Amino acid sequence: MNQTFSRRRDRLLTYQAMREGKITSSRRTRCSACGEESPQLEWDRNFQVCPRCGFHAPVGAYYRLSNILDPGSFQELEDKLSPADPLAFPGYPAKLSELEQSTGLKDAAVAALGRVDGHKAVFAVLDSRFLMGSMGTAVGEKITRAAEYAGKKKLPLVIFSASGGARMQEGIFSLMQMAKTAAAVQRFQSGGGLYISCFTHPTTGGVTASFASLGDIMLSEPGALIGFAGPRVIEQTIKEQLPEGFQRAEYLLDHGFLDRIVLRNEWRAVLSQLLALHEKGGRP
């Protein structure tokens, strides 16, 4: 037990140091894309982008927000929202509390009010460390409340997606979150709100097929896998190998589904530009 606490404490301190940019670990981390090792320090300075190949490694929701928002502007929304177990699925509650312990997250989404270069907006970020960022009822509810809150406050909405899709353990209730979130962002947008959807690696299934594909502006980090069906399912279905780069952000850009690819260190500048162009959330 003591060990768990000290490990948790270590991690929290490490996160704090990472946020403040003063990590001096001698640890080396291997890139899951190119297989090369680089000092953790270099990864940290590079916002967790591989210093060798430029692979944009998945990052946690709080970390992402801390790199995008103006210092001190982060105000978490709906942080009490907890997951449910609508199917009474065997082993699911235990899995949820285990993940809460290891990630510090209640579920796979974080919503916040924040500013980028002084421009106020509502943010929602999916975190792939929590069951692949899958959308269960709590994630669907958080996205929906973020959209409704943004609508009520007449603020722009920025969502960063990273998700394996629907949360199997919540079955049909998970599927319904697609309808719910799509309806919520649709309602927000038809009320004049600006919605910027940002894909990160990987985003597939029910998240791609709902709110994530509905942005007024569609952005993605480079190399992100974006699709409805996952590559393995497609290969099994069509019984052939998919070409290199299939379903990657660059491919989607070429096929007309994205406005732009944004490097991780460019998010602040790009969001700031877009928010300024839509001052007052897109209203005249």
In the DSSP assignment, the letter for residue 212 is: G
Question: 283 and 153 in contact (C-beta within 8 Å)?
Answer: no
Question: 159 and 122 in contact (C-beta within 8 Å)?
Answer: no
Among residues 60 and 223, whose Cβ is nearest to another protein?
223
The separation between CA 239 and the C-alpha centre of its own chain, rounded to angstroms, equals: 31
- Give residues 76-95 in contact with another protein (rule: CB under 8 A): 84-90, 93
Among residues 15 and 251, whose Cβ is nearest to another protein?
251
- Residue of 121, 126, 155, 182 that binds another protein (CB under 8 A): 182
- Give residues 204-223 in contact with another protein (rule: CB under 8 A): 205-206, 208-214
Among residues 38 and 186, whose Cβ is nearest to another protein?
186
Site for another protein contains 114 (CB under 8 A): no
Smallest Cα–Cα separation from 162: which of 201, 135, 209?
A: 201
Among residues 62 and 188, whose Cβ is nearest to another protein?
188
CA–CA separation, 201 vs 209, rounded Å? 15
CA–CA separation, 4 vs 13, rounded Å? 14
Site for another protein contains 131 (CB under 8 A): no
**Vertex 231, ends 54 and 181: CA angle to 5°?**
85
- Write down the least CB distance from residue 66 to another protein, Å: 29
Question: Around Cβ 158, how many Cβ atoms within 10 Å?
Answer: 28
> Applying CB under 8 A, what is the total number of residues that bind another protein?
57
Establish how many alpha carbons lie within 13 A of residue 104's alpha carbon, considering only the half-sphere containing its beta carbon.
Answer: 11
Site for another protein contains 255 (CB under 8 A): yes
Among residues 13 and 179, whose Cβ is nearest to another protein?
179
Question: 217 and 267 in contact (C-beta within 8 Å)?
Answer: no
Smallest Cα–Cα separation from 126: which of 92, 94, 95, 103?
A: 103
What string marks each residue from 141 to 180 as x (binds another protein by CB under 8 A) or -? x--x---------------------x-xxxxxxxxxxxxx
**Amino acid, single-letter form, for residue 249:** A
Only one of the segments 39-47, 72-80, 108-116, 226-234 lies at the binding site for another protein (rule: CB under 8 A); that segment is 226-234
Among residues 27 and 246, whose Cβ is nearest to another protein?
246
The separation between CA 23 and the C-alpha centre of its own chain, rounded to angstroms, equals: 24
Only one of the segments 22-30, 36-44, 65-73, 252-260 lies at the binding site for another protein (rule: CB under 8 A); that segment is 252-260
Residues at the site binding another protein, with contacts judged by CB under 8 A: 84-90, 93, 136-137, 140-141, 144, 166, 168-180, 182-187, 190, 205-206, 208-214, 226-229, 233-234, 237-238, 242, 246-247, 255-257
